[in-house]
Structures are given as C-alpha cells and as structure tokens.
Amino acid sequence: MNFSESEERVELRKAAAALGKKYGHDYYLKQARSGGKTNELWDEAGRLGYLGVSVPEEYGGGGAGIGDLAAVCEEFAAAGTPLLLMVVSPAICATVIARFGTNEQKSRWLPGFASGEVRMSFAITEPDAGSNSHRITTTARRDGGTGGPPANEGVAGGGWVLSGRKVYISGVDEADAVLVVSRMEDSKTGKLKPALFIVPTDAPGFEFRQIEMDMVSADKQFGLFLDDVKLPYDALVGSEDAAIAQLFAGLNPERIMGASFSLGIARYALDKGVAYAKERNVWGQPIGAHQGLAHPLAQVKIELELAKLMTQKAAALYDSGDDFGAGEAANMAKYAGAEVAIRAVDQSVQVHGGNGLASEYGLGTLLAAVRLGRIAPVSREMVLNFVGQHSLGLPKSY
C-alpha cells in the first residue's frame, strides 16, 4: 500500500499547475463575466496532452488512469482556472466510449478527446427524475425495423428516434455532441432499460436553451429538448445489453472528477486565506497568529488532505477495475470534497473580512460555485443514502 503519488503524476501536477497559473483566476473571471469561454486554456491543455491523459494510447492519449486526469482537473482549479467540462467530456464521455464503444465509435471520437478538439456533454438529469436513471422518461424507439442493426445503418435506412427533456446540462453550447442517457425496450423482457446515445448538437429536432444561473462561471447550464431526433443505428454506444453497466462506467469517474474539482477550489481558497492571514497586520502582529483564525484554517487543511486521500483511493480502485469498490469510495470522495470546498471558501472569506467579498480578492464568486458541489453530480443526501444502504447495510430509505 502506497500513499504517495508516482513521480510521473507529481510531474504532471506541476506541469498542469504551471499552465493554469499562466492564465490565472483573473483570466477566468474576465471570460466568465463577459460571457466568454476558456478556449485558450482548453486548447493549449489539449495540445499538451493534459486533457487526454486517460485516453488509450492507440487513440492518441496518454494511456493513464482516471487518477491522472483528476490530478490535472484539481491543479487547474487550484490555479483559479476550473474547467467544469473536464468533469464531463474526457472523464465521463471518453471513458464510456473507450470501455463500451464499438471500434468505429472509438476511432471516430477518442482521438478528438485526446487532443481536446472534441467536446462532448453528458445528459442524464431530467425535470421530474433528477439523476434516477430508473425514472427518466427520455425514450429511444427503433426506426426502421427490429432485431440487429439494419442493413443500412444511416438514418434513412433505420436507426433510432429519441424524444425527451433534460435539465442542467453543462457546456452544450461548446459541445460537438451530447451523450444522452435514455431508455429503450429490452427485446427479451419488454422492460425499459438505460441506453446511451451520441447526439450531435446540430441534429434536427435537438434544441437547447440556456438556464440563467446566479453564478459567475464560464461553463453554462442548459435545458435540452429532444423532439423525435432521428439517429443512425450506430449512435447507440456499445451493446444494447450493456445497459446499466456502461452508465455506471461513466458515473464513477464523474464523482472522482467532481471531488477533484472541489479539492482544487478548496486549495485555491485556502491558499488565499493563509496568505492574507500572514500579511495582514492588526495590533502589531499578523492576524494568522490568532487561534481564532489559525485553527479554522488548520481544520480546513486537515479535511482537505483527508478528502484528497479518499479521492485518490477511489481513482485507484476504479483504475484497477473494481467498479463497486470505486463506487463507494467515489461517493465518499465527492461528499468530502464538496464539504471541504464550502468550508475553505467560507473561512477564507471570513479571514479577509470585508475584503473577502471585494472583486479584487477573487473569493466572492466562489461562494455559489462551491455550493453546487453539494448538489451535483449527485446530491449529498443521495450519497448518504448510498452509504447507509450499501456500506452500512441499512434498509433502503427511498
């Protein structure tokens, strides 16, 4: 058992941190407040291979694990340049396609994920179902015959028709396509089962509308409307029988990346708070000399390190192929990361006093951003339900 990261990952962290700091939080805020995007940072990260570290080598990626991609995500956020689309595009979508996609789908999409040239959103949440994949109503039906793939796999010769709605889907305005979680009829049982489809954002019948949010973020949220969107047969990811397995292949990396995203913001806020506590002098000494400020900052540091360890454990379990073990650890890591991020930002604002809400100090905009971590990609309450039922063996509560 080794609690130290490999030399390669340590060097990857340093390189990613340097790139994030090259742009910095001022760049991020300027883009976010103007309605712009962080394209320059994303594109450079892609060219340098940081976005594709977990894509298989045969498709131009680094061939590493989700832990390495999570490290990049954390370092960018710690530099004040959080890239939310990293949680979605290379972590969820590329992972699902790499594990379950056909050879044609892998060849079509993975090289673009590796270079950062492809951006793909992920759509599971619905107005009346949240993230409960058993209750979603977005449905795919066959178009042009039943059984195996039609002789002509184009839309005209047969495929799928997709209808439904999704909400709070990140980055659709930047995406080439959306990986949509739908339901389809199981030909053996007649019951509905989850299925994932790659839907181009320019497909006829596909519409997206921005949801106005009280957050300063370069990544926008959208509602999706799928009105009989016709797709070719090969828009279905992998096998029809993979069902729930391929969905959870993406959700565990999502939680690991969500934890790392929160950890990075927590580090950014803690660094700000510590620096201010060292330099701000009142009554002849730095305010950090007072336990009323020193102890809360020390608590944040302890909780941050604990959350980071759980995140690394979750990534190691996932990369080893232990999907169930990774599920428990990933949920715990996501919970711990969100909680420490909220605590870190709140305490750093408190250390700064009134300056904590001044634009100059770069903290006020994070108050809403870190609060989102308790809600997405899975709520704190659903994590507690998971731990109660699966880790503690308590009766199911819902």
Quick check: 168 and 376 in contact, CB under 8 A? yes
Per-residue pLDDT tens, the chain, 398 aa: give them.
Answer: 678 899 999 999 999 999 999 999 999 999 999 999 999 999 999 999 999 999 999 999 999 999 999 999 999 999 999 999 999 999 999 999 999 999 999 999 999 999 999 999 999 999 988 666 667 899 999 986 544 554 444 554 579 999 999 999 999 999 999 999 998 877 677 678 888 999 999 999 999 999 999 999 999 999 999 999 999 999 999 777 765 777 777 899 999 999 999 999 999 999 999 999 999 999 899 999 999 999 999 999 999 999 999 999 999 999 999 988 999 999 999 999 999 999 999 999 999 999 999 999 999 999 999 999 999 999 999 999 999 999 999 999 87
| Amino acid identity at 141 | R
Phi, psi dihedrals of residue 118, rounded to the nearest 5°: -100, 135
Q: How many Å apart are CA 126 and CA 31, to the nearest integer? A: 29
Identify the pLDDT of residue 242: 63
Cα dihedral 307, 57, 95, 203 in deg (nearest 10)? 140
Question: How far apart (Å, rounded) are the C-alpha atoms in residues 347 and 341?
Answer: 10
**Straight-line distance from the first to the last Cα atom of the chain, in angstroms, rounded to the nearest whole number:** 37
pLDDT value of position 133: 63
User: In what helix (H) or strand (E) does residue 194 lie, and over which residues does it extend?
Assistant: strand 192-200
pLDDT at 184: 87
pLDDT at 152: 43
Can you give the pLDDT at residue 273?
A: 98
pLDDT computed for residue 398 by the predictor = 79
Beta-bridge partners for 200: 177
Pairing of strands 192-200, 177-185: antiparallel
Torsional class of 145: left (φ above 0), alpha (ψ -120 to 50), beta (otherwise): left
The pLDDT assigned to 243 comes to: 58
Residue 176: per-residue pLDDT:
97
pLDDT of residue 130: 67
Cα–Cα distances (Å) from 47 to 52, 53, 60, 267, in that order, read: 9, 11, 11, 26
Whole-number Å distance between alpha carbons of 121 and 85 = 8
SS3 of 315, please?
A: helix
Lookup: tokens for 215: 């957050």
**Is the previous residue joined to 82 through a cis bond, with omega within 30 degrees of 0?**
no
pLDDT at position 108, please?
Answer: 97
- Which run of H or E residues covers position 25? helix 7-33
C-alpha span between 340 and 194 (Å, rounded): 33
Q: What is the DSSP string of 323-347?
A: HHHHHHHHHHHHHHHHHHHHHHHHH
**Other beta carbons less than 10 A from residue 122's beta carbon:** 27
Q: How far apart are CA 161 and CA 239, in angstroms?
A: 17
Predicted pLDDT of residue 136: 85
Cα dihedral: 133, 331, 372, 30 (round 10): -110
| Three-state SS annotation for 268-306 | HHHHHHHHHHHHCEECCEEHHHCHHHHHHHHHHHHHHHH
Contact 377, 299 (CB under 8 A): no
Which of 363, 351, 354 minimizes the C-alpha distance to 290?
A: 351
d(CA 142, CA 45): 40
- Length of the chain measured in residues: 398
Q: What pLDDT, on the 0 to 100 scale, is given for residue 143?
A: 86
